[in-house]
Structure 1
Amino acid sequence: MLDKKEFLQKYRISEQDFEEAKISWEELTAIYENYQSMETTLREIGKDFVDEYLYDIQKAGIHSYRYRTKEPGHLLEKIIRKRRENFQKFDRIDRWNFHKYFTDLIGIRVFFLYREDWIHFHQYITSVFENDPAQYVENRLEDFDEDADHYYIAERPKVYKRAGDSRIYDDQLIEIRSGGIYRSLHYIIKYKGHYVEIQGRTLFEEGWSEIDHDIVYPYFKDDIMLNDFSTLLNRLSGMADEMSSYFRRMKMMRVEEEQEKEHERSV
């Protein structure tokens, strides 16, 4: 049996925060237990996805990948947080339908060496899955497709870009959300009856993000000093991405120069 006091303490949720979520501890416990019973199936679905679509990293246009299922306690914390932030949107969530609300129970990360390489993965993933705006989910309950054999992109692909990023994204292909502190691609795929969330980042961006999530997000978001250090590390990772792009561009220039010299010598 999940202990309420220990849970609230672990995830830094006050009793007032819990009350504001307007959901019983009994219902949360039932969600927790139901999710645990689903985890093995979700892990298998995640493995099937990467084996079928991402194992050939060259074909997928990525450097590497990893996948995971959401930790049960984090699911409950997210339910409480979302109900507090937007109760009307999440007021009907329960032990039977929670998997329809959250698209990140199965999460996959794909990584790029260079930020410009996003386009290769985008072209790949939109070629192997239907990407019809008419099928994008708006109402989590009413729009949920019960057909487990229907695989498709369930939301418009989007990218969160850093403030000051150079223009490398095409808003005809992907929704661009600006002004953030991190850069990340997001795709929601309906696969084998469940949502699969794919996030695409550079290796440098992933390094900062993992450290930020381990130390700051979501329980120390109000700690000024930790946020300052995270912001500094974020800037360094952004600079590393910029330098990597310039580094590759210089190499390509050197290769072109050598090819021109070789051509002149052969004439």
Structure 2
Amino acid sequence: MQWVIGKGCNYLFKNEILKLIMSFEMVMNNFMMSKTLDDFLKKNRIDQEMWAASRLNWEQLQLIGRDYESRHEHLRDSAEFFARVIQRFPSVHSVRWRIKDTDHLLEKIVRKRSKNEVKYEDINENNYLSVVTDLVGLRALHLFKDECFAIYEALRSVWEPEENPIAYIREGDSGEWVDNFRELNFDVENHPAGYRSVHFVFSTQPTSRKIFAEVQVRTIFEEGWSEIDHRVRYPNFSDDQLVSYFLNIFNRMAGSADEMGAYVKDLTNALRQSGDELALAHKEKDDALAAMEKAVAELHSEKKQGADTQAHVATLQREIAKLRRSSSDYVSTGLTHRIFETLSNVNDRVIQTSKPDRLDPTLSFPSRLDAERRRAAAESLQRKLQQEMKKREQKKPTDPDTSEEG
């Protein structure tokens, strides 16, 4: 079962509600662990071949299961602690957490043992807490793709990772995105299911036994896709090719939504920066005009002025008035031009990363076709942007600071 903590909720009130519900869930979990081996194998879709390969016996698993259920309350307390701390990170939108179901824990042990994973070779009721590192699982969700790096820094400022972080990437992700993870010494893996997610393992020790927690960091779009993928695919359509095909299309749509979110963020940052530059330009213009008007006023107030001086003063006053009228239009037009340049630069990134020579040669045909379509649409938009920028350049007012009178 999963719980969500979002920004702005009354934590103390919610904590009391959760404790009541969790107490009920803990009682129910005592009935969730299968009572017989046959029930356990059937419920978790484990065939006799896998069971035999695990070299386990039912009594061993029951000892682990009973000990685990006795620790549920402590595990929930640890999960709440992790969630409360992570929710305070500025880049985190919301936090989901869960405690692994007893049968899911036992099924995982059987599956890992059947694959001869060394880590699980000597697992028992005394050491399973240090072997299985996702008994407490949390997901830190964020809005923009690149916020995972800020969340990583925030996590590292509180806990030291117990294992090297893993960055799961999607087939066709850009080299720049992957390089960012490698520069931070992440293990980078191409996830077979196609989702992006960054996984960390941390620990806490509120009692005599150390408790591990797996923290998954991903965008809201990736979370939505993975939840739908899991709900639709399992347990009956895990091998259905038609279902997989449409879920892969949905996966690309989620990835494109993340990219669009990043582009919109870049655009708003550029607009904000341009607005600051515009305000500064107006202030500098007003300060310069005020200084010029002060100088003219001082010249005008001189009692002894020749005819030539008076004429120069009058000419200077006319130029100041002209400058006031024209400079505002010039600055505004320059701002618009910079916005178009920003749009063009952002769009160029899509074109560059979608060129045939930049694509991974192992990409499947649908992925390559998807990249070609993105590149064609981006190139069309780029041509329109360049045409509009050219038109605006031709209409751009003459810079009053550089104009010359004939």
Same fold (TM over 0.5): yes
Pair 1:253-2:266 in alignment: no
- TM-score w.r.t. structure 2 length? 0.56
Greater shift after overlay, 86-95 or 183-192?
A: 86-95
Q: Any idea what the Cα deviations from partners look like across 1:157-208, whole Å, max 9, x if unmatched?
A: 2211222223232423241414332111111112111111111000001111
Query: What's the C-alpha RMSD, in Å, of the aligned pairs?
Result: 2.0
- Alpha carbons of 1:218 and 1:57: their partners in 2 closer, same or farther (altered >3 Å)? farther
Match of 2:52 in 1: 19
Structure showing greater Rg: 2
- TM-score w.r.t. structure 1 length? 0.83
Match of 1:36 in 2: 69
Contact 1:163 1:178 (C-alpha < 8 Å) held by counterparts: no
Deviation of 1:218 after TM superposition, in Å, equals: 7.4
1:153 to 158, 161, 171: 161
Deviation of 1:92 after TM superposition, in Å, equals: 0.9
Q: Any idea what the Cα deviations from partners look like across 1:88-139, whole Å, max 9, x if unmatched?
A: 442211222211211000111101101101111111111222xxxxxxxxxx
Counterpart AA for 1:3: T
1:227 to 213, 237, 244: 244
Higher helix share: 2
Counterpart AA for 1:77: E
Contact 1:184 1:200 (C-alpha < 8 Å) held by counterparts: yes
Counterpart AA for 1:175: F
Pair 1:54-2:71 in alignment: no
What is the CA–CA distance in structure 2 between the aligned matches of 1:116 and 1:200, rounded to whole Å?
Answer: 11
Match of 1:147 in 2: none
What is the CA–CA distance in structure 2 between the aligned matches of 1:165 and 1:2, rounded to whole Å?
Answer: 46
What is the CA–CA distance in structure 1 between the aligned matches of 2:51 and 2:244, rounded to whole Å?
Answer: 25
Contact 1:159 1:174 (C-alpha < 8 Å) held by counterparts: no
Counterpart AA for 1:195: F
Pair 1:171-2:182 in alignment: yes
What is the CA–CA distance in structure 1 between the aligned matches of 2:262 and 2:181, rounded to whole Å?
Answer: 18
Match of 2:4 in 1: none
Instruction: Give aligned pairs, total.
Output: 242
Contact 2:166 2:189 (C-alpha < 8 Å) held by counterparts: no
Deviation of 1:219 after TM superposition, in Å, equals: 7.3
Give the secondary structure class of the aligned counterpart of 2:123. coil
Deviation of 1:257 after TM superposition, in Å, equals: 2.7
Match of 1:263 in 2: 280
Deviation of 1:23 after TM superposition, in Å, equals: 0.6
Pair 1:101-2:131 in alignment: yes
Among the aligned pairs, what percent are the same residue?
A: 33
Pair 1:65-2:78 in alignment: no
What is the CA–CA distance in structure 2 between the aligned matches of 1:196 and 1:226, rounded to whole Å?
Answer: 32
Greater shift after overlay, 20-29 or 83-92?
A: 83-92
Alignment of 1:206-245 (within 5 A): 206-216=223-233, 220-245=237-262
Match of 1:85 in 2: 115
Counterpart AA for 1:216: R
Runs of 5+ unmatched residues, structure 1: 130-151
Give the secondary structure class of the aligned counterpart of 2:199. strand
- Alpha carbons of 1:28 and 1:214: their partners in 2 closer, same or farther (altered >3 Å)? farther
Deviation of 1:231 after TM superposition, in Å, equals: 1.8
Counterpart AA for 1:165: D
